[in-house]
Amino acid sequence: MTRKENGPYSMPMLMPEYPPPPYRLGPLEGSNFLCTLPSQVLASLVPEPLETNADGVLWIYFVHIGAAKPLLLPYREVGLFVPVTYDGKQGLFSLAMFLDESLPITIGREVWGFPKRFADSISLEREGDRCSSKLVHDGSTLLDATFRVAENKTQQPSEQLTRVYTHRVIPSWQSDKPSINQIVALNWTSTNEMRQAASEAKLRVAFPADSQLSVLNEMCCIKSWYSKTEACTLAGGEVVRDFLSSS
């Protein structure tokens, strides 16, 4: 028996936890909220060299992901993203994410640098034109939202590419610095997304006072919609800032 020269893609070596990308997610269905805060508040949460939007806009979603190829693992996810610009290119910075399954958390952190945490529970319910969504973490309700879905539907472009930025940090056994500390730009493609406008949106935000995200508790919802997406593909990217090599 001989050892493979390059070894497996992921840990553990003899029973790799997950395969290499690309990953195709879908179908996806859930609620979306566009919110505003003072732009300087968002700027305090987003790392350089990314530039936050002048309007102080933040996007929050609650989504049920039917499957995730090649893992075929359905789960629910809540994401908070900030529109940003880097080197003249617009994109979204991943501020915080919560999931109800552990394996996508591991993959999201290790491969892509997504700031994923395990949620106590994520609820996403729709009865007729009424939709309710809730995120519970560490025994506290962080996000609680409702709205009424309109009948009109809007089809988005069949293939829509979004540049997604993450702050990818991989720990080290050394206590003074991590093994990896980078800003990464990823390629996120949505396929056949349909949106329904919503009204009467109510969003309650209650991050703990000792959390850096507590500054989001005063944000105001300005727009909401319900979405259904056939699939999303996450494949490839580039490092736009390596803090360890530039230090």
Please give the share of the chain, as a percent, with pLDDT higher than 90: 81
Active site residue 4: no
Task: Measure the CA–CA gap between 25 and 117, rounded to whole angstroms.
Answer: 19
Could you tell me if residue 34 is inside a domain? yes
Q: Is the peptide bond before 208 cis (omega within 30 degrees of 0)?
A: no
Could you tell me if residue 239 is inside a domain? no
Alpha helices in 18-95 (DSSP H): 39-43
**Each residue of 36-46: pLDDT tens digit?**
999 999 999 99
pLDDT confidence of residue 2? 47
Could you tell me if residue 113 is inside a domain? yes
Angle ∠(173,107,181) on CA atoms, nearest 5: 45
Which residues form the domain of 221? Answer: 23-158+190-234
The answer, yes or no, to whether residue 61 has pLDDT greater than 90, is: yes
**Each residue of 96-122: pLDDT tens digit?**
999 999 999 999 999 999 999 999 999
pLDDT band with cut points at 50, 70 and 90 for residue 3: very low
Could you tell me if residue 117 is inside a domain? yes
Mean pLDDT across the stretch 207-226? 96
The answer, yes or no, to whether residue 247 has pLDDT greater than 60, is: no
128: exposed, middle or buried (C-beta count within 10 Å: 0-12, 13-18, 19+)? Answer: exposed
Question: Looking at 116, 153, 177, 223, which residue is catalytic?
Answer: 116
**Each residue of 115-135: pLDDT tens digit?**
999 999 999 999 999 999 999
pTM of the model: 0.94
**Each residue of 80-89: pLDDT tens digit?**
999 999 999 9
pLDDT confidence of residue 1? 38
**Each residue of 12-34: pLDDT tens digit?**
888 888 888 889 999 999 999 99
| CATH number of the domain within which 65 lies | 2.40.400.10
pLDDT band with cut points at 50, 70 and 90 for residue 246: low
**Each residue of 129-154: pLDDT tens digit?**
999 999 999 999 999 999 999 988 99
Mean pLDDT across the stretch 159-186? 94
Are β-strands 89-99 and 116-118 bridged in parallel, bridged antiparallel, or unpaired?
Answer: parallel
Could you tell me if residue 121 is inside a domain? yes
Task: Measure the CA–CA gap between 231 and 68, rounded to whole angstroms.
Answer: 9
Mean pLDDT across the stretch 65-90? 92
Could you tell me if residue 185 is inside a domain? no
Could you tell me if residue 105 is inside a domain? yes
Task: Measure the CA–CA gap between 217 and 241, rounded to whole angstroms.
Answer: 30
Residues contacting residue 26 through CB under 8 Å, at least 6 positions apart: 65, 66, 67, 191, 229, 230, 231, 232
Task: Measure the CA–CA gap between 104 and 171, rounded to whole angstroms.
Answer: 18
pLDDT confidence of residue 13? 85
Could you tell me if residue 4 is inside a domain? no
Whether the Cβ atoms of residue 88 and residue 50 lie closer than 8 Å to each other: no
pLDDT band with cut points at 50, 70 and 90 for residue 72: confident
Task: Measure the CA–CA gap between 25 and 165, rounded to whole angstroms.
Answer: 18
Question: Could you give the count of Cα atoms lying within 13 Å of 194 in the half-sphere of its Cβ?
Answer: 9
pLDDT confidence of residue 208? 97
Considering its fold, how many domains does the chain have in total?
Answer: 1
